[in-house]
Structure 1
Amino acid sequence: MVSIDFSDLIEALTEKFRTIVKEELRNLHVDKNGVDTEKYLTVEQTAQFLNCSVPHVYKLKDRMPHIKKGAKLYYKVEDLNNYLDSGRSVPNKLRKVA
Structure 2
Amino acid sequence: LHISSSWVRDSRFWKLVDQPAPKLESFSFVMERECDVEDNLTVLPRIFQDDMPKLRNLALVNVSSWPHNRFANLTRFSLEHQPPHIRPTFPEFLAFLAASPKLQELVL
Of structures 1 and 2, the larger Rg is shown by: 1
Taking structure 2 as the reference length, the TM-score comes to 0.19
Which protein has the bigger strand share? 2
Decide which structure has greater helix share. 1
